[in-house]
Structure 1
Amino acid sequence: MKTDAKVVHLNKVAAEQPPTSPVGRLPVALIQMRDQAAHQLKQALQALFDNADDTLFEMADRATSNAEQNAFFEAMRDLRLKRKNIERGFFQRVFESFSVLNQYEPAAPPALDAVSFDNLSLVQNDELEETVALDAMVAKVMSRDGSAVTHLSTRLNAMVSRKLDDRSNPLGPTALCEAFLEACGGLGVEIKVKLIILKLFEKYVLGSLDQLYAEANQALIAAGVLPELKSPAPRRQPGRAAAPLPGEGGAAQAALGEQAEQSVQEVFGALQQLLSQARGSAMPRRELPGDALPISSHDLMRLLSYMQQRAPTQDGADFDLREQLGSLLTRASAKSGKARVVGEVDEDVINLVAMLFEFILDDRTLPDSLKALIGRLQIPMLKVAVLDKTFFGRGSHPARRLLNEIASAALGWSEQGDAQRDSLYQKIEQVVQRLLNDFVDDPAIFSELLADFLAFTGDERRRSELLEQRTRDAEEGSARAELARRQVEQALNQRLLGKTLPEVVVRLLREAWSKVLMLACLKHGVESAEWQEALATMDDLVWSVTPHEDQQARLRLLELVPGLLKALREGMASAAFDPFSTGDFFSQLEALHVQAFQRFKRPPVGAEVDDAQRAALAEVGIDLPLLELPAEAAEPDAAAPQMVAVVEEIVLQAPGAPRPLEAEVVLADDDESLQQVDNLRVGSWVEFQEDDEHKLRCKLAAVIRPTGKYIFVNRTGMKVLEKSRMGLAVEFRRCAVRLLDDALLFDRALESVIGNLRRLKGA
């Protein structure tokens, strides 16, 4: 009976990956090439928009009717207003097409929908005109630069997992035209005007693609990506290569696929050539006995399988594959009486894989405790390379992708007391053990393990991203609160610093009203009416307890106090200030205001307190005598209030956290360490050397601009470190922090091997 208990459905795994999921990171060389191309495209788009006004104005000047002229003028205005949106949309589409190149996407059969003649309709005339225009534009570029585009597609196929052709190439004319057309979707212009804009795109953007393709190919050649491919001339003669006809699309795609596959096969040949040249110059040649008999690849696989069964007892970091294999061949030769050696092609494969793993096991990006596990994959990877030489040239090869995904997942893994209890360590160990136990000669096991490992890391990533987002939200909230505290401190110090006021008023503003100001700042901002009203209430309170002698001040005080006390009470209630403390504050304030009234001399006729004012004061707890006596006859004042001079700046502390100390070391603005900090991007992994024995690996999760904080999280998304820009620069300067290279491990190893072989060749 068949069972699918161990079957992993690839479609389900792929469906769980969001469109922008960073499952597969792009190689550094590809990122640099992309950014360089984006810069050239940006300049070309600027030229387009700079010339669009003149072109549309000329068309308007030649218009045959007012309606046509108005259409061109409206298009000019619309294009100016939406220029930034079009540029942003275009580059977003271009960058998105690059971001998905290394995502795992198993092929799925096309869904066949039921056809109903009722649903069929003719293509709209405008859409048809757009399609015809785009096809003509693409055909011109392919006729001129088709070879350069194909070479670029081939080189991309050697670096990424997704299968590309000239049509799906992110920098191909088809993708660029579709991206621009989609970005222009918001333009409310007629088809006639849109076609003119497309012509401008053809002239200023597509017209300069020959230079873009030449430089992109050259950048990848400089990075060691298929340098043996002959670079095409920047421009092709018209008529040398025509665009495929609509009916020939399938055949053209098949031809492109075959050409890409052939290019992938050529990678191993190029590596062999470099290895042969290096062996002839700096590396010793193979010295074989005259009667040596090469063993077949099948026999080599049997020997490797024998070694593989004993590999679990070996430390992968110290395992010398060539030495072990040589020992087995010596024993086999002694037993058979004939010298047995590995064939030349298989010997090249062994040397290349050995050099790859020498780089991997020396790589400082991999944690030491995981190197031993990954090192045990050397024999399975060698067996795959013997079976399938495209292992070296195809970025989408399942075995190569599995190694890259394991290394990417291990990037944030930190040394722990009991490493084997960590879920990631256990998963990697499970994958390694499964390969050592079950892999004989069927590479399909790598696809199964890759899908299973991606499902595992996908679940881990979703959990860490959720916690990381919560960490960011909390830090941004803290930053907003810190910024609000600074605003409140500034407002308090502007009004109180240098003044001598009753102690109760200073304490009320510092302890209670500061909370009201914080709430207004956080909820409404410093430009809001609520913030201004809170400041005005504070100003009125300070004025009301400041001694005044003129009668106008007395009249203002009479009018001010009832509303002031009401505003204070409502504000403190909205900030949920302690009701008992509020009552104490108001009792002392009332006494202060009574004393303020009693300090005034008898008012002139017409300035007496009327019944309405007396009632308003009584309502807030201030009872004035019915007959106001002259100053000489008034009762002696109550005890004078305790006064304090505000001579130090008011500093508000964050709840439950001491105020951070400023960095002791201040570096110059042009210091190289500060530039290193500024070049850090969110998502970068770094390693801090905490002391001689302990290291901390963490990821930059957020840069909180208002406070200048750099927030770092661990693999699970939990905050582990917080640094200021200056503090982080000091760490860089004393070499206590190191940026981890998050480029694909296999690709970096292959680049290193190619570079070493070229150096040996020239030695």
Structure 2
Amino acid sequence: MEREMPENSVVVNLKQFERSRRAQVSAEALSILHGCRDLLIEGTTRVLTRQSEAMENTLLAMADRSPLLDTRNSYYSAQGILNTRANELLSACKDAYCQTFNDFAHNREKPAGGELLELSLLDDQDFEITLVIDKATSRLRYNCAEELVALDARIAHLLSRSDLSENDSPLGPRVLCEALLDGISRMQLEQAIRIVLLNQFDLVLTTELAHIYQSINRYLIDRGILPDLKVGAKSRAQGTAPNSAGAAGPAPAMQGQTGGDMFKLFEQLAHSGSAAGGGGAGGASAGLAGFSLLDSLGQLKSGAMMLPGGGRFELPLLEAATIQNVLRSLQQSPVMQAASPLDAVLVDAVAMLFDVVFDDAAIPDHLKAQIARLQIPVLKAAMLDRNFFSQSNHPVRRMLDAIATLAVHLPDNEAGNARLEAISQVVSRVLDSFEKDITVFDSAAVELEAMGSLLEETLEEIVDASLQQDIAQIKQSERAELAPVIVHDFINRALNKEQPVVDALREFLRRDWAQLLTLDYVNEGEQGAHFNSHVETMRELVWSVQSKADMDARLMLVRILPGLLKRLREGVAEIDLPQKLSDRFFATLVILHANAVRPNAQPVPLPDITPEAIEELAPAPTAAEAATSEPESEAAPEVEDEFNLRARALNKGDWVEFHYDDGTFRWARLGWASSVKNTYLFSDQDGMNSFSISQLRLADKLRRGEAVLVERKSITESAFGKLMNLFRQKLGHA
């Protein structure tokens, strides 16, 4: 609702003035515009119809994982709407968009709720809807940036409207999202269900909308609307291919020079009028004379920014737990009408950086809130130092990366709260002291990096100490599992075919001595002194009963025999071999040794004993002992996939986020990995609690989404990689 101005008022209602200044859309332009409308809404509804079943499956899966009853019911209700009323829903969305489009085409204004003259407080529900619309719009615009640059330019040219902003374009993502929400609202659904449905529509359109915008650009080119503008009409695969000439590109530049090149890119973008925000017609003007956005940003520290003409602008208040991209508010404010096109590009670039950071699920909300406090200082630093966008070791970027890296060291306890408070104090010092000296960020980055290094070293020491007992238990458990196979192999090598052994000795080694080797291996491993001593005793025993044809061999037997018999008696005592079996074995051994030293004489026969008698004397073998007679068959190898490869590639010190059925999650640090059975031992953020998991089980959790690898890479490097590609695409340089 517009207020009538008094007749003697000297205040000009800019909205009425602008509306009266607009030219009526010609019939030819209106026809082309309607064609664009049909391509957009028909393509959108076609995509949503095709993906309806996929959205239903997604909602059911989300409902199954949700720990909250209300949230789960919202997912189920939204799935039910898609299952039973999808056609009605999409028809309502189509009608809502067409109505919005027709209002624009006939210069009918939006409802008065958006008028700047009538400000009112939003209730929680309206605020939530606004946030959902903003996020959906930002995601779609980000993924369709190249196509929208061209489309916005063509629509502005078609309508002769240099003042047409990206959010007011009838074909833009914001108008589309608002119309979709309007159509959903016409179904008389609860707000939670409306938000769920809009989010699902947005996720589907994120990957599909660019193709629709490409078709609209081609439609406009065919009708002579800026046919020489070469971006936005080709598919990404074609549009991003390098030129055949000079495909290798220029040689790498020094970092400072690269920063200059990037800044030139922004200057070109500003001159082309592709930036969001001010700049006037075509974005080519220099902004309002006498106004400096950089100088004015300092006023926000003390309160409001004074605008030319006496106006005031205040950013939303950021409280301790607030996560809000205030730079987006700055973009939509009257400030940008006075700012230069280059300033508008820089604001958009830094705002996109914070969009990426705030969307990063690996950064907890309480840490994002600290990063959010730095938005205005980071914007000022970016405007002061062009190398901010190109140097990965820039002080501002190092500070942001250092804060994000500390996420894994902030457990939900007293220690974590103390560390968060220390981070908050560093951020506060930057806010208080930064004006134009970038070294303020350098000092903060050094302090935060030192904090991270100290926490990492301390955690390493705690984990190494606390995990020793667990590691020992896991190793022993793994050795117990492997012992039957290992012992069986050692006995087989001792009983080689070149040295024939009587059945009585073979039975003793496989049945009795194997027990001793198994105990040694489980307790000490293959390198243990007892295990190796008893293996050597076994080898000497086998050699001692072989025929000794020459005097040297006989003398050698005489020398080693006392020690061999002593070790054998100690061994059978250690395994509690029944006395009758022990006596019979040593009696048999006397005969075998006697036969060995007189090979040409008639051998003395061994005492007879039936298998039944041995079974009566010998204790029942354990499962491990029984397994020494036959090794376990190897399990079939696991089918390789990306999740197995990810699990196998983990290194000590890597972090994994584990999700549980009740909706909770925890971060765990890999403290040790077994090379024997591929068992991983993780500890919590304090290093005080631990748990083990096999590599295959971890891969399965990764596959199911119950575990997520925490990538501790530079958040600014990742964000600016996307950012630079996006801006290059805007100018057709990709």
TM-score when normalising by structure 1:
0.46
TM-score when normalising by structure 2:
0.48
Return the structure number with greater relative CO, CA threshold 8 A, min gap 6: 1
